[in-house]
Structure 1
Amino acid sequence: MSTHWFFLLAAIAVEIVATAALKSVVSAPWLVAFLPLALIGLSFALLSIALRVIPLAVAYAVWEGLGIVGIAVIGHLLFGEHLTAGRLVALAAILAGILLLERGVGDAEAEEARHARVDGRLV
């Protein structure tokens, strides 16, 4: 696994913490309320490092998708928000979409070779 994937995972973790902090700082002093904004900035900085190697569509889908799944779990565990069967199916669909998108990005030469074949013959 490339170090850029670790930067992406760190960006996701920071995004989840920042989003959870938004719910927690609603009645906090104004200075503390800026913490989520700083964390979101850090998340974007980490994402920008990951984007140097990871394709944009894949990185963004993983960042947002895992962020959504992560915050749904945090909302359930920390804030008592319900994870109904329908929501669990939706979260599973998000994860499936991320996997499909990530698997669809491959070696450019392999992609070209796959598209150059028609009925098993090279065109």
Structure 2
Amino acid sequence: CGSLGVIGDLYKTEVYELAAYLNREKEIIPQHTISKAPSAELRPGQKDQDSLPEYDQLDAILKRFIEENETPEKIIAQGYPQETVRKIIRLLYQNDYKRAQCPPIIKISKKSFGTGRKYPF
């Protein structure tokens, strides 16, 4: 028995783009699933945006750090809030152990984020 994380190498914004693409001719993914506020549903009323920046900003920071190997200082110099950049990178390192618990993913990005990605970046 096994599994495969088919969308494991997608950023959140790319998941939404894929959902829109899949729904382009008819509703395959229920619209309420796409339009509701994102949540890990760990507690009642919890939403991702309570503790994370909007996905477009989050994804841009992660992409610069992971795929482009930019330093936090360079990302901040591009206009991203220092506190946000530092928090996202801290969370990335702090939660890295979770990647080892996930199924293998299909690599589509320049620098995959799956279990095969090793430190240092």
Whether TM-score is above 0.5 comes out as no
- TM-score, structure 1 as length reference: 0.27
Q: Which has the higher helix share?
A: 1
Point out which structure has higher relative CO (alpha carbons under 8 A, 6+ apart): 2
